[in-house]
Amino acid sequence: MSDIAADVTLKDNSAEVKRILKSAVERGLKAIGMAAEGHAKKSIRQADRIDTGRLLNSISHKVDDDSVYVGTNVEYALWHEVGTGIHASDGQGRKDPWGYTDEYGKFHITSGVKPIHYLRDASTKHNDEYKALMKDSLENA
């Protein structure tokens, strides 16, 4: 048997692979965030909860490291998410009707608002879609 000599050169590409992977994950998270925004906004539209459009237009997403967050900074958003009064999701809402005067001076009586869970549902009811978005982003890195 003869001796075979071979020149072997090893090159470490791990930094480049990590950079490409990080970019693909970020791209996937952005796609998931945009999709979740769309689902949340669709829920608000379907519930016919648009008055000024402020809540709808405030829904956004943010990618932070390996997570994506979808939410709003509108102070009354919680009322639509979890409901109020007799409709409160946790059962802790006010049990008796109450009245208020709107900005036009008209008096209203209410027992609360039903929850639409637009953020909860946007984040939990579309997992297969979100997995597919991430898979696509990783496969096309």
Query: pLDDT per position in the chain (141 positions), as tens?
Result: 567 888 999 999 999 999 999 999 999 999 999 999 999 999 999 999 999 999 999 999 999 999 999 999 999 999 999 999 999 999 999 999 999 999 999 999 999 999 999 999 999 999 999 999 999 999 998
pLDDT of residue 1: 59
Whole-prediction pTM value? 0.84
Question: Measured between alpha carbons, how far is 67 from 134 in angstroms, rounded to an integer?
Answer: 12
Nearest to 120 by CA among 86, 90, 99: 90
pLDDT at site 5: 82
pLDDT at position 6:
85
d(CA 123, CA 66): 15
The alpha-carbon radius of gyration of the chain (Å, integer) is 25
